[in-house]
Amino acid sequence: MERKKHFMDTSESVCSETIYNKVYNEHSKSVWRFIYFKCGDSARADDLVQDAFIKLWQNCAKVPVEKARSYLYTLVNNAFLNEIAHHKVVLKHRETVTGNTDNQNPQYLLEEKQFKEKLENAIANLSEAQRTAFLLNRIEGKKYREIAEILGISVKAVEKRMSQALANLRKEIENI
Amino acid sequence: MKQDYLLHKWLNGEILTEAEMLQLKASPEFASYLKISDASATLTPPTFNQEANFKAIKNKLATKKHIPVKKLNPLTTFLKIVAVLAVLFVGYKYINSLNTTVKTEVAQTKNIQLPDESEVLVNAKSTLAFNKKTWDKKRELSLEGEAYFKVTRGKKFRVKTALGEVAVLGTQFNVYARDKKFTVVCYEGLVQVTLPDTIIKVPAGNNLRVENNKIISFKPTQIQAPLWVVQKESHFENAPLRDVIKELERQYPITVSTKSNRILDKRFTGSFTHKNLETALKTICKPLQLKFTISDNQVSIYAK
């Protein structure tokens, strides 16, 4: 009985408003970030995410709950691919408010600040493919397998993109 | 290679041993990779406003719902089509029902070829109407005045007049329907004459005369074809001069006046030509002992 109920739940459609809301709460942020890593335009990312969720609602009968996440990623990705204009990806470091900042010497802090600035620029200059994979891993903390799934590529390809991204970042940061 | 493997292992969130960590850091290249990766992990993208976007989605969905989807009502569409077809049908029927009308003026005869090769010779001052389109189904025409018919064999051929109806299968006959006088002469075959109260079959070589819905005579005639057709003459048998003058006025563009009304009742048997007015007047006046004068289109007839 319990198993059956579980089975029923997973195959339930997104047409139920509670389920739709749940899907939104679970995935909207990561989908938004994913598309932001690609396009670097938060307004555009808003639009793409909104459109994707609207499409999900309209096609709710065809999309089972367990497929909703990849459906959303596919929708925003396709929409993104249709876009021509790309923006510079702007990422900012969190203001690290840690108690021990006073203990560090000013020289170190300055160097650290410069390093972070360089890193931000270097990431913005990465190719879209490398940046998306790299940021999904670094910021979103996604495993290679998950990234491979989202981007529709192999784990090996994710590994390659990560290596390339790191190599490019290092080159750019140390050259400047 | 080993370092590469370790780097990816570490990036993939797996925990490395102390020794492995040291091994990675030993290479300046990999040490910097670790530093970059660590620093990148603290980056934050702009905040995604989950609530505002959710509201926007709900709004968009709501407005999309409000856009009235005009449903094509299959019934109204059907009715529209039916209405158009009905109008077309009625229009077609109307145009079909429009008759071909032949009208002859004074001193004019017209030879009409009907759709089935039947022929009608319409005498002066007469009107003939028939429908070309429905002719194959219904050989029917209406007549006011006089006409001679040569009907080819086929379906029933009807001549409708205000005074009666003549129906035949295939024959030659003459119909005269003027001023309450209805005369049918059959020259070939058999015609059926329907009067308001009776039906009479007129065989070939017979002459039926009806006046004021009463049969005046129904007798054989020697004439093979109406004189107005064959010899361009109008023929009368014991007819009052009044009628003869009317016919004269139909065949010639004249007006006839008489000095006294008494002579109008004189009876005339014979025929007058359509070719020459003076000859015609002579043939009428001589046997009745009358005289006439012609000035322009005015003819005056008077007793001697």
Strand, coil or helix: B174: strand
Q: What span, in angstroms and rounded, lies between the C-alpha atoms of B211 and B50?
A: 105
From the CA of B36, how many Å to the nearest CA of chain A? 7
* Domain CATH number, residue A127: 1.10.10.10
The answer to whether residues A37 and A80 touch, using CB atoms and an 8 Å cutoff, is no
Q: Select from B162, B203, B169 the least CA-distant residue to B186.
A: B203
The answer to whether residues A148 and A155 touch, using CB atoms and an 8 Å cutoff, is yes
Give how many domains chain B has, as a whole number: 3
Q: Give bridge partners of residue A35 from the DSSP assignment.
A: none
Q: What span, in angstroms and rounded, lies between the C-alpha atoms of B102 and B120?
A: 10
Q: What residues of chain B lie within 8 A of the CB of A31, using their CB? A: none
Q: Select from B169, B177, B94 the least CA-distant residue to B143.
A: B177
Q: Select from B283, B281, B287 the least CA-distant residue to B301.
A: B281
Q: Select from B39, B36, B28 the least CA-distant residue to B3.
A: B28
A77 and A145 belong to one structural domain = no
pLDDT tops 80 at residue B276: yes
Q: Spell out which chain A residues touch chain B, with contact meaning CB-CB distance below 8 angstroms.
A: 24-25, 28-29, 32-33, 36-37, 42, 45-46, 49-50, 53-54, 57, 90-94, 96, 115-116, 119-120, 123, 134-135, 137-139, 141, 143-144, 159, 162-163, 166, 169-170, 173-174
* Domain CATH number, residue A75: 1.10.1740
pLDDT tops 70 at residue B62: yes
Last residue of a domain, one of B208, B228, B248: B228
Nearest to B37 among A28, A36, A138 (CB): A138
Cβ contact, residue pair A54, B60, below 8 Å: yes
Mutation target for B interface from A21, A97, A121, A139: give the one with most B CBs within 10 A.
A139
pLDDT tops 80 at residue B122: yes
Beta-carbon contacts of A31 under 8 Å, excluding residues fewer than 6 positions away, are: A49, A52, A72, A73, A76
What are the residue ranges in chain A where pLDDT is below 70?
1-12, 83-104, 176
**Beta-carbon count within 10 A of A49 CB:** 30
**Residue B72, pLDDT score:** 64
Q: What span, in angstroms and rounded, lies between the C-alpha atoms of B295 and B283?
A: 19
Nearest to B43 among A45, A93, A163 (CB): A93
B263 and B171 belong to one structural domain = no
H or E, element range at B199: strand B199-203
Task: Name the more confident of B39 and B70.
Answer: B39
Last residue of a domain, one of A82, A116, A147: A82
Last residue of a domain, one of A50, A82, A114: A82
Nearest to A50 among B13, B32, B60 (CB): B60
The amino acid at B224 = Q
Beta-carbon contacts of A166 under 8 Å, excluding residues fewer than 6 positions away, are: A134, B7, B33, B36, B37
The answer to whether residues B268 and B288 touch, using CB atoms and an 8 Å cutoff, is yes
Residue with tokens 């390093």: A115
**Residue A93, pLDDT score:** 60
What is the percent of chain B where pLDDT is above 90? 3
Q: What residues of chain B lie within 8 A of the CB of A37, using their CB? A: 45
Mutation target for B interface from A28, A96, A111, A117: give the one with most B CBs within 10 A.
A28
**Beta-carbon count within 10 A of B105 CB:** 11
Report residue A69: phi and psi, to 5°. Answer: -60, -50
User: What DSSP character marks residue A87?
Assistant: -
User: What DSSP character marks residue B185?
Assistant: E
Domain of B24 in residue numbering reads as 2-31
Average pLDDT over residues B38-59: 87
Is A142 inside any structural domain? yes
**Residue A7, pLDDT score:** 41
**Residue A155, pLDDT score:** 93
CA distances to B123, B175, B199, B217, B218 from B182, rounded to whole Å, are 15, 7, 14, 11, 12
Cβ contact, residue pair A119, B43, below 8 Å: yes
What is the percent of chain B where pLDDT is above 70? 95
Average pLDDT over residues B121-131: 88
pLDDT digit string, tens, across residues B144-173: 888 888 888 777 888 888 888 888 866 788
Average pLDDT, chain B: 84
Cβ contact, residue pair B43, A42, below 8 Å: no
Is A147 inside any structural domain? yes
Q: What span, in angstroms and rounded, lies between the C-alpha atoms of B38 and A5?
A: 43
Nearest to A36 among B4, B40, B45 (CB): B45
CA distances to B245, B257, B264, B301 from B261, rounded to whole Å, are 12, 10, 5, 11
Is B220 inside any structural domain? yes
Is A90 inside any structural domain? no
Is A159 inside any structural domain? yes
Q: What residues of chain B lie within 8 A of the CB of A46, using their CB? A: 48-49, 53, 56
Last residue of a domain, one of A54, A82, A110: A82
Handedness of CA B131, B137, B142, B147 (dihedral sign): positive
H or E, element range at A82: helix A65-82
Strand, coil or helix: B57: helix
pLDDT digit string, tens, across residues B21-38: 888 888 888 888 988 988
Tokens at A175, concatenated: 């050259």
CA distances to A85, B214, B257, B269 from B240, rounded to whole Å, are 108, 17, 15, 9
The answer to whether residues B184 and B166 touch, using CB atoms and an 8 Å cutoff, is yes
Q: What span, in angstroms and rounded, lies between the C-alpha atoms of A154 and A136?
A: 15
**Residue A2, pLDDT score:** 39
Domain of A78 in residue numbering reads as 9-82
User: What DSSP character marks residue B263?
Assistant: G
**Residue B90, pLDDT score:** 92
B224 and B239 belong to one structural domain = no
